[in-house]
Chain A
Amino acid sequence: MHQCIYPIMTYFRGVWCIMEKLVPAKDRLLKSNKNWLDGELRGKILVILCAVIMISATISITIFLGTKGLQSFIKNGVSLIEFITSTQWNPTNQAKPEYGALPFIFGSFAVTFLAAIVAAPLGIGGAIFMTEIAPSWGKKILQPVIELLVGIPSVVYGFIGLTVLVPFIREQVGGLGFSLLSGTIVLSIMILPTVTTIATDAMSSLSKNLREGSYALGATRWQTIRKVLIPAALPTLLTAIVLGMARAFGEALAVQMVIGNVRDIPTSILDASATLTTIITLNMGHTTYGSVENNTLWSMGLILLIMSFAFILLIRYLSSRRKM
């Protein structure tokens, strides 16, 4: 079967056979056992090596970013309390530099939660549409739509946000246009496919008995969805939202292009703001490597790393609840 499909592989196998025939039969038979063992061992070592590389990549990312991120507190003497709680960010002030990252931490969380609030109903609603309302044609239309949305690169989202959304908000809603609202809208569209895909899996993996039992009791479709299906799928639906939030929290360029990048805590969603990722993107390039300001950027990177661990733990907790 494979010969006709994989001519290249067959070719290599052919070359291999010819090479094998060059060795006299006696040698081949006498040594074959050892040769097999060699190949076997070599394969195993090769494959284990790949796994080891993966583990070491993860561990070295954690260690490198951990030590680099802690340097600003240990070596440069920036106070951790000030870093997390102060709203004053003036690293370039010669006389009295201040390193309060609270505006950026706040911005990151605000934009993440707002995006989740917008994307969760849309995503879960889309999933329910695909699985409950129109399982036959709805899925055929919406599934490719979701896959195409995943494929659009994040800079393109940012660029469209910059050229369409920002002027629109400036003229129709008010403010500068560069705002928390723009960031929220761009991010919620970006995380929509993540939420929808996982929510669809969750809804379609529910047992048919649940649906039929509920309909047999005379419940309408909406009652079935609300009282039976959503509660049953709740842990996975929450996982979908958390995964979306994890993606929103770490997204950099698209947000950076629309959010305005100011160093104050926003007072309304029409105010410009900044997030941890945007400040890293903007300043990493033109601060001197090893300077205090540069080191505080690495500390913000460490916060991103810690948050992505936190999201994983949250997802683990949710999936352990699902199993019970």
Chain B
Amino acid sequence: MNSKTADRIATGVFIAIAIIIISILVGLFSYILVNGLKHISLDFLTTPSSNVRAGGGIRDQLFNSFYILFITMLIALPLGIGGGIYMAEYAKPGKITDIVRSCIEVLASLPSIVIGMFGLLMFVNLTGWGYTILGGALALTVFNLPVIVRVSEDAIRAVPSDLKEASLALGITKWHTIKTVLLPSAFPTILTGAILAAGRVFGEAAALLFTAGLSTPRLDYANWNPFSSQSPLNIFRPAETLAVHIWSVNTQGLIPDVEDVSNGSAAVLVLSVLVFNLLARWIGSMIHKKVTASK
């Protein structure tokens, strides 16, 4: 009898915990969306931000976020997939592989502010570039690389060994097998993982504070010359991203409508990350259906 009561109480406690977790999420999301959606308008998304006056938008920050994400992925994806191929196909069990694995583990567990400090030292001061998009993207690459390596290693290992063995049995060399058999089969999983990683990069701020900076020069969107200092495409200009913008207006901003701007920006940020997640799921399931011809 006694142990049955205890069992019932414990069950109640576990259900309560689940309800707490769910209500935290519901509370957070409804707060962000209810407060943020009313500030999102075409005007908000397309006017530049203001440092002192109310009514500024987030045009440049939004562009910078996507642009830095794009450059980061451009560097991190080839490196990460290459690393994943190495770990899955070339690494022989032994000391060297252990070292590489430890390195990935260390990179993955570094706090993002430490990566930001390394970026400040390496890509801002040592190279003499100052705060640049490229510096920010390289710091984010360091931050993102372990995730992509792990995702691609797992994806390549998950390809059925029959496929690989059949290819090798036909006399095709290892690298050619990797290129034409393993990578195409692992592609959907890598893509899903990469999109999820992109969501993480999109919301990252601490690593960008000291690498991409807290300001954006006046941008001229008609100027497409990547070497001009006013061009949005220039990778050697400072760039404040959306996540950094939320932080900076809240901690050192002077504008009177801090809360409106940050509510709107937070909603845009969360919605973008949500879109990344849904996109990853949708692409994953769609390709899964096509490949396996199942529902």
Per-residue 0/1 for A117-157: is the Cβ within 8 Å of any B Cβ (1 yes, 0 no)? 00001100110111011100010011001111101111110
- Would you give the shortest CB distance from A216 to chain B, in whole angstroms? 16
8 Å CB interface, B190-237 against A: 199-200, 202-206, 209-210, 214
A contact residues around B13 at 8 Å (CB): 125
Measured between beta carbons, the chain A residues less than 8 angstroms from B43 are none
Contacts of A95 in B (CB 8 A): none
Is the C-beta of A183 less than 8 angstroms from some C-beta in chain B?
Answer: no
Considering the chains assembled together, what is the distance between the CA atoms of A267 and B25 in angstroms?
32
Q: Is A92 an interface residue (CB 8 A)?
A: no
Residues of A within 8 A of B114 (CB): 61, 65, 250, 301, 304-305, 308
Q: Is the CB of A153 within 8 A of B117?
A: no
In the complex, whether B256 has a CB less than 8 A from a CB of chain A is no
**A49 interface contact, C-beta 8 A:** yes
> Which of A72-80, A169-177, A251-259 interfaces with chain B?
A251-259
* B86 neighbours in A (Cβ, 8 Å): 47-48, 50-51
- A253 near B206 with CB under 8 A, answer yes
Interface secondary structure of B, over-half rule: helix
CB neighbors of A among B226-268 (8 A):
243-244, 246-247, 250-251, 259, 262, 266
Q: Mark A295-316, 1 if CB is under 8 A from B, else 0.
A: 0001001001100110110000
List of 8 A-B pairs having minimum Cβ-Cβ separation, nearest first = A250-B111, A153-B203, A50-B82, A43-B175, A125-B17, A222-B10, A220-B7, A58-B103
Least CB distance, B37 to chain A, in whole angstroms: 14
Contact with A along B166-201 (1 / 0, CB 8 A): 000000011110111000110100000000000110
Verify if B120 is at the interface (C-beta below 8 Å from A).
Answer: yes
Complex interface residues of chain A between 23 and 81 (CB less than 8 A to chain B): 36, 39-40, 42-44, 46-51, 53-55, 57-62, 64-65, 68
What is the CB-to-nearest-CB distance from B197 to chain A, in angstroms, rounded to a whole number?
Answer: 12
Contact B113 A250 (CB under 8 A): yes
Q: Report if A221 contacts B (CB, 8 A).
A: yes
Residues from chain B with a CB closer than 8 A to the CB of A113 are none
Question: Which residues of chain B have C-beta atoms less than 8 A from A285's C-beta?
Answer: 209-210, 214
Stretch in contact with the other chain, from B27-35, B45-53, B54-62, B66-74: B27-35
- The reply to whether A129 and B205 contact each other, CB–CB distance below 8 Å, is no
A156 touches B122 (CB 8 A): no
Chain A neighbourhood of B100, CB < 8 A: 51, 54-55
Residues of chain B contacted by A59 (CB below 8 angstroms)? 103
- B137 contacts the other chain (CB 8 A): no
Apart from the given pairs A40-B176, A60-B118, 5 other A-B contacts in the complex at a CB distance below 8 Å: A44-B90, A61-B115, A138-B18, A153-B270, A252-B112
Interface positions of B from 89 to 128, Cβ below 8 Å from A: 89-91, 99-100, 102-107, 109-115, 117-118, 120-122, 125
Give residues of chain A (221-240) contacting chain B, Cβ–Cβ below 8 Å: 221-223, 225-226
Smallest distance from the beta carbon of A245 to chain B beta carbons, Å? 11
A163 near B17: Cβ-Cβ < 8 Å: no
A116 within 8 A of B: no
A111 smallest CB distance to B (angstroms): 13
Expressed in whole angstroms, the Cα–Cα distance for A249 and B111 within the complex equals 8
B side interface size, CB within 8 A: 95
Q: Is the CB of B14 within 8 A of A128?
A: yes
Q: Which residues of B contact A132 (CB under 8 A)?
A: 14
- B287's closest neighbor in chain A, by CB? A5
Q: A164 on the interface (CB 8 Å rule)? A: yes
Taking a contact as CB atoms under 8 Å apart, the answer to whether A133 and B11 are in contact is yes
Closest Cβ of chain A to B8, distance in Å, is 8
B42 at the interface (CB under 8 A from A): no
Q: Is B273 interfacial (CB 8 A cutoff)?
A: yes
Chain A residue with the shortest CB-CB distance to B138: A57
User: By the criterion CB–CB under 8 Å, are A312 and B187 in contact?
Assistant: no
* Nearest chain A residue, comparing its CB with the CB of B196: A151
B105 and A312 within 8 A (CB): yes
The answer to whether the Cβ of B145 comes within 8 Å of any Cβ in the partner chain is yes
Determine the residue in chain B with the shortest Cβ distance to A69.
B117
Query: Contact at A189–B206, with CB atoms within 8 Å?
Result: no
* A221 → chain B closest CB, angstroms: 6
A280 to B85: give the CA distance in the assembly, Å: 37
Q: Which of A51, A55, A153 contacts B243 (CB 8 A)?
A: A153
Tell me whether A61 and B142 are in contact (CB under 8 A). yes
Report the Cα distance A134→B106, complex, angstroms.
Answer: 36
A145 with B21: CB separation less than 8 A: yes
Which chain A residues border B203 with CB–CB below 8 Å? 151-156
Interchain CB contact under 8 A, B103 and A55: yes
Alpha-carbon separation in the docked complex, A225 to B276 (Å):
37
Determine the chain A residues whose CB is within 8 A of the CB of B205 once the complex forms: 153-155, 253
Instruction: Report if A206 contacts B (CB, 8 A).
Output: no
**Among candidates A64, A223, A251, residue contacting B118 with C-beta atoms closer than 8 Å:** A64
Tell me whether B111 and A304 are in contact (CB under 8 A).
yes
Q: B111 and A39: CB pair below 8 A?
A: no
Residues of A within 8 A of B85 (CB): 47, 50
Measured CB to CB, the nearest residue on chain A to B79 is A50
Q: Which residues of B contact A68 (CB under 8 A)?
A: 121
State whether A133 touches B121 (Cβ < 8 A): no
Q: List 25 A–B pairs whose Cβ atoms lie within 8 Å, in order of A's numbering.
A: A5-B287, A5-B290, A6-B184, A36-B176, A39-B173, A44-B90, A51-B86, A51-B87, A58-B107, A59-B103, A133-B15, A141-B22, A142-B18, A145-B25, A152-B270, A155-B246, A159-B250, A159-B262, A162-B250, A223-B7, A226-B10, A252-B111, A284-B120, A304-B113, A312-B102
Give B148 Cβ to nearest chain A Cβ, in Å: 10
Selected from B9, B209, B270, the residue in CB contact (under 8 A) with A281 is B209
CB–CB A122/B11 < 8 A:
no
B283 nearest CB across to chain A (Å): 12
Chain A residue with Cβ nearest B277: A151
